[in-house]
Amino acid sequence: MALSMNLLVFMICSIISCFAMSLSYSISNTEYVAFVFGDSLVDAGNNDYLFTLSKADSPPYGIDFSPSGGHPTGRFTNGKTISDIVGEQLGAKSFPPPYLAPSTHGTAILGGVNYASGAAGILNDTGSIFIGRLSLDRQIDYFEDTKEELVKMLGDKNAEEFLGKALFSITVGANDFLNNFLNPISPKRPSPHSFEESMIAQYRLQIERLYDLGARKFVIAAVGPIGCIPYDRAINFLPNRSCSASSNELVTAYNQLLRNLISELNTRLSGAKLIYANSYDIVLDMFQNYANYGFENADDSCCGDVSALVPCSLKSNMCHDRSKYLFWDAYHPTEAANIIIGKLFLDGNLSCVYPMNIRQLLLL
């Protein structure tokens, strides 16, 4: 029995108390502009232009990405990312192009730009084992260049108004744990609390810098339950239906600090509104209660071997029905999962997005 997507989202929201009475709100296409920052969860192809070991530029990545006809675009999933889903639901006619694409200039930037990069982190040394990647600091450097181009096109006042209405989404932090603090070949590590505090201190400066550059509407995604992804479960030799408690405890402590940071900045940054997108609780519930979401498998990656340690490629085993899997590869959700997460970010209540959802934020 196939449920319609709207009915499925209603059921999901009921399960985790995320449904909000905001579905009647609307926003015109001309008002939706998005500047996307982060890691491989939202990379739209920037790493295709880098010398890096972190790439998604070959099949079967993108196999379900309808705008490209199923060809890879540099997205680290089988189809659309969470950011793509949000834009699509809001009526965007196209997705923000990757900053490093040669054509991302002039009128191409008026719908926003994607700066996200696979293997990127809050800390500048995160992801160095992959060689090339754009740290969050470097992504903000590139946004500063974009702003200069906008000012030349629109003038100072109009550029300020343009950026003040735009959505600035940041999805980052998981690699700081996976490829830095939790990396078994990393040098001697500080205490978990010291590491998390260093992440928050750096993140504060980065968000404040975006604010100084004109950003006013922020969506800050929590780090998801990395102890439940196929990679972390595989290296810890965990059985099905189990997550790494130690990894998730680290992330939970960090997310609380992040939530506190967002509350602080909402008070201190005049005219800014930041929302906390609770991807941790959403994805954890999807893992624990996967059948309620229409999935048949939440343990294994759709593309890759059962150990989740062999990268996804054309030589990999592929699941028969990608819509029934929570995870596409060892690290990333399927498009089916991204659709659910994106819609909850857009229309969820305080359990999903705090202190308001994305649709409400854009109406301010």
Decide if 71 is catalytic: no
Query: Which residue is catalytic, options 64, 83, 84, 332?
Result: 332
The runs of H, that is alpha helices, within the chain are 5-15, 82-89, 136-154, 156-165, 174-176, 192-212, 230-235, 245-268, 279-288, 335-347, 358-362
What are the b/e assignments for 289-301, b being 16+ CB within 10 Å? ebeebbbeebbbb
With contact defined as beta carbons under 8 Å apart, do 51 and 132 qualify? yes
329 flagged as catalytic: yes
Region of 311 please: left (phi>0), alpha (psi -120 to 50) or beta.
beta
Q: Is 83 noted as a catalytic residue in this protein?
A: no
Q: Which residues is 301 bridged to in the sheet? A: 327
Distance, in Å, from the CA atom of 121 to the CA atom of 147, rounded to the nearest integer, reads: 22
Closest CA to 84 of 125, 58, 114: 114
What distance in Å separates the CA atoms of residue 237 and residue 223, rounded to the nearest whole number?
A: 22
Q: Are 334 and 356 in contact (CB under 8 A)?
A: no
**Cβ neighbours of residue 282 under 8 Å, at least 6 residues apart?**
16, 18, 340, 341, 344, 352
Look up residue 19 and give its DSSP letter: B
Residue from 313, 318, 328, 229 nearest 57 by CA: 313
Query: Contact, 12 vs 292, CB < 8 A?
Result: yes
Q: How much of the chain is helix, strand and coil, in % rounded to 5?
A: 45, 10, 45
Q: What is the residue whose two structure tokens read 């006042």?
A: 157
> Which one from 39, 40, 43, 301 is the annotated catalytic residue?
40
Sign of CA dihedral 357, 351, 250, 232: negative
Residue from 64, 84, 176, 329 carrying the catalytic annotation: 329
Question: Which positions are annotated as active-site residues?
Answer: 40, 329, 332
